[in-house]
Structure 1
Amino acid sequence: MKRIFVCKTGELASGEARKVEVNPAVAVFNVDGVFYAVADRCSHGNASMSEGYVEDDATVECPLHAARFCLKTGAAQCLPATEPLRTFPVAVAGDELYVEISEEVAA
């Protein structure tokens, strides 16, 4: 696993997201102090999930198609999306936030 620095935990407010430029890009979310990471590209189309609408129930709505995904599991929760988003482990070390990417994904 490769650990990628995202930001300081205080720099990502609750209800906000940040795009991490790795290959493929990852969206990291803060939902009431709990951090989640999913693939940044919507499984239904070419939309950035980091630009989506974060809900208090740990879901995110695609900004283009209104598909909703669970940030905990990546599961698609409504049409038009039927495929899940890939999820990634998140680590907090002190006040630093990291996403963990497998070496073959980050290459």
Structure 2
Amino acid sequence: MARVHVCSVADLPPGEGRRVDTTPAIALFNVDGEFYAVADMCTHATASISEGYLEDDCSVECPIHTARFCLKTGAALCLPATEPLQTFAVSVEDGEVYVEVAQGEGA
């Protein structure tokens, strides 16, 4: 696994998300100070999850077909999605956010 620097904590306020240009692309979300990273591509259709709608239950809704995914597990929570999103480990160190990606992947 490779640790990739994504941003400073201050650069991603609570309730916000952003796309991380790694391979595969990752969507990073700040949920009340906890950071979650999932694959950025919806498993149902071609849509960027980072452009989705963050929900109060730590899930994100796809911006196109309203599929919802758990940010903690990647699980698909409702149709039309049935396949989970890949999740990535996130760490925060000295105010900086890092995501673990497979060797050979990265920014």
Q: TM-score range by the shorter chain?
A: over 0.9
Aligned to 2:32: 32
Structure 1 match to 2:97:
97
Report matched runs for 1:40-51 at 5 Å: 40-51=40-51
Report the TM-score, using the length of structure 2 for normalisation.
0.96
Give the SS at the match of 2:50.
helix
Query: What is the deviation of 1:43?
Result: 0.4
The runs of 4+ residues in structure 1 deviating greater than 4 Å are: none
Q: CA RMSD in A?
A: 0.9
Q: CA deviation at 1:17?
A: 0.5
Aligned residue in 1 for 2:5: 5
**CA positional deviation for 1:55:** 1.1
Q: In structure 1, list runs of 5 or more residues that go unmatched.
A: none
Percent identity (aligned): 61
- Aligned counterparts of 2:65 and 2:15: Cα–Cα separation in 1: 20
1:44-83 → structure 2 map (5 Å cutoff): 44-83=44-83
Amino acid at match of 1:50: S
Deviation at residue 56 of structure 1 after TM alignment? 1.8
Q: Give the drift of 1:13.
A: 0.7
Q: Distance in 2 between matches of 1:6 and 1:16?
A: 14
Q: After superposition, what is the alpha-carbon deviation per residue over 1:3-53, rounded to whole angstroms, capped at 9, x for unaligned? A: 111110011011101111011100000000000000000000100000000
Cα distance in 2 between the residues matched to 1:6 and 1:12: 10
Task: Count matched residues.
Answer: 106
Using the TM superposition, give the Cα deviation of residue 57 of structure 1 relative to its aligned residue in structure 2, in angstroms.
1.1
CA distance in 1 between counterparts of 2:56 and 2:36 reads 13
SS at match of 1:103: coil
Q: Any unmatched runs of 5+ in structure 2?
A: none
User: Normalising to structure 1: TM-score of the pair?
Assistant: 0.96
